[in-house]
């Protein structure tokens, strides 16, 4: 059971999210608060998995409130202002819900939260899976479709995402991207490489072959990842 806290200074926003939560069997409402100070009191006394947190509130903004937390539950920002999205994701928010929030969008958010909490798949709420993600690049959130993504390469100070249309440079870590990507499609094959399994043309020696800009690109296979990759091949899971 996912334990939730709602924090919003608008009574209608509190009511909408409470109604949504009451319609979903695998999430329960611990408390609802009208400001961050009240929320801090709840978090000090109750076990909370996820906080649905408005950004613009009196006394203390949602973003400033998150910065005060030493032990953070999963954070989902809720706001009517899309310009806060980049800052929200910089604080490792699991999701960013733009008001007015629809029920189907809320359910997708709960699925993300359930995945982060490693809940058993039978306890998850099933909807059509999203086939894209957003990454921060050049002070923007850029949409990356999974079927276009060829591979991800980790470099010294940044990560580059190679896709059919070119590349995207982001300061996210390889680990954070690996956690976002669906494991049925993407596989870590090296400390510095994640590959789209659907884009693999062949495996030669210690390399994976993919096609980039019409040419063969060889990606190294790390020795710690080789056996698991070959198991996928031998089991015909690619």
- What are the pLDDT digits (tens) for 175-233? 888 888 888 889 999 999 999 999 999 998 899 999 998 999 999 999 999 888 887 77
The mean per-residue pLDDT over the stretch 82-105 comes to: 80
CATH 3.40.50.2300 applies to domain 2-123: yes
- What beta strand segments (E) does the chain contain? 2-7, 27-33, 50-54, 74-79, 95-98, 132-137, 140-145, 149-154, 159-163, 166-170, 186-190, 193-196, 202-204, 207-212, 215-220
The residue extents of the domains of the chain are: 2-123, 138-234
Residue-wise pLDDT for 145-167, tens only, equals: 999 999 999 987 789 999 998 99
Confidence of residue 236 (pLDDT cuts 50, 70, 90): low
> Has residue 238 got a pLDDT over 80?
no
Answer left, alpha or beta for residue 45, where phi above 0 means left and psi between -120 and 50 means alpha.
Answer: alpha
- Helices of type H across 46-158: 62-68, 85-90, 103-116
CATH 2.40.50.1020 applies to domain 138-234: yes
């Amino acid at each position: 059971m996912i334990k939730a806290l709602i924090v919003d200074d608008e009574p209608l926003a509190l009511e909408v999210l409470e109604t949504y939560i009451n319609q979903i069997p695998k999430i329960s409402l611990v408390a609802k608060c009208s400001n961050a100070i009240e929320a801090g009191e709840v978090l000090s006394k109750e076990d909370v998995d996820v906080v649905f947190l408005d950004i613009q509130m009196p006394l203390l903004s949602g973003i400033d409130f998150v910065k005060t937390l030493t032990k953070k539950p999963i954070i989902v920002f809720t706001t009517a202002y899309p310009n806060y999205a980049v800052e929200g994701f910089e604080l490792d928010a699991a999701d960013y819900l733009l008001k007015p929030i629809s029920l189907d969008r809320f359910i997708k958010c709960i699925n993300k939260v359930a995945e982060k909490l490693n809940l058993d798949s039978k306890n998850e709420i099933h909807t059509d899976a999203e086939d894209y993600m957003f990454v921060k690049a050049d002070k923007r959130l850029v949409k990356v479709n999974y079927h276009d993504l060829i591979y991800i390469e980790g470099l010294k100070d940044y990560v580059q995402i190679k896709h059919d249309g070119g590349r995207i440079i982001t300061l996210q870590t390889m680990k954070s991207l690996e956690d976002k990507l669906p494991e049925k499609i993407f596989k870590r094959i090296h400390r510095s490489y994640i590959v789209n399994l659907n884009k693999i043309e062949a495996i030669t020696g210690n390399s994976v072959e993919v096609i980039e800009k019409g040419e063969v690109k060889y990606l190294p296979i790390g020795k710690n990842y080789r056996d698991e990759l070959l198991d996928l091949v031998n089991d015909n899971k690619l």
